Homo-oligomer: A and B are copies of this chain.
Amino acid sequence: MENTRCENCIVRQFNSLRAMSKEELKRVSDSKTTKTVKKGEPLFEEGDKLNGVYCVRNGVSKLSKLSPNGKDQIVKLATRGEVMGQRAVIAEETSNLSAVAVSDMEVCFIPKDSIATTLQKNPNFTMEVLRHMAHDLKEADDVIVNMSQKTVKQRIAEAFLYLKNNFGENNEGFLALTLSREDIANVVGTATESAIRIISEFKKKGLIHTSGKQIGIKDERKLKDLAQGF
């Protein structure tokens, strides 16, 4: 694998690393390692002590947490440009989430030392990280409200719209990110069978079209209305 320098990495534009100085970036670049992770493989597990953060260059990872009843709740999908493990490294705690690739990925592992020293010395960088975390926190609040106040049907409609907005569609009109039915159920927090049933219903009503695992949005207007509760 060619070892692209962080200085030239486009992905950096999307995350807090853009607030680093040339020298800081150089140090990060020298200490980082690039890995490929196949779909289905874990990056880290809940409870792991993380020695650094993972910057996503390509692909998507699900961040999930095991609930006492044995089900996995997907809390977030991390894509190109996102930095995973930041929270745990900053709080100096073990990870509260597991990360598993849902598509083939290319990630850069950045040891925590180079992050920690920059955090102490470059207030711009620290502020940038802070802003990102503030954004994540707001999103988490939104998820809490959705989970507790919307029906499964509404949440699934919303999930499809989210997938379209964040990962786009391929040239056949299907969502570019294909999740298994089980993963969809774990995003919205329901039983796999319930998710499948609602997907079938959406298909029957002409809101979506499917082909195997693939799902495409057919009537975005109606899906949006449904997500809002009409």
Q: How many residues of A contact B (CB 8 A)?
A: 45
B90-A131 in contact (CB<8A): yes
Query: In the bound complex, how far is the Cα of B144 from the Cα of A189, in angstroms?
Result: 9
Number of copies: 2
Q: Provide the bound-state CA to CA distance between A219 and B229, in Å.
A: 40
Given contacts A120-B127, A138-B93, A141-B75, contact A228 B68 (CB under 8 A): yes
Q: Is the CB of A189 within 8 A of B149?
A: yes
The answer to whether B91 and A138 touch across the interface, beta carbons within 8 angstroms, is: yes
Residues on the B chain within 8 Å of A90, using CB = 130-131, 134
**How far, in Å, is A63 (CB) from chain B's closest CB?**
9
Given that A91-B138, A119-B123, A138-B91 are contacting pairs, would A67 and B130 also be in contact in the complex, using a CB cutoff of 8 Å? no
- Cβ contacts A to B, 26 pairs, < 8 Å: A65-B141, A65-B145, A67-B148, A67-B149, A68-B228, A69-B149, A73-B145, A73-B148, A73-B149, A87-B137, A87-B138, A90-B134, A91-B131, A91-B134, A93-B138, A96-B141, A119-B123, A119-B127, A126-B126, A126-B127, A126-B130, A133-B134, A136-B137, A147-B189, A148-B188, A148-B189
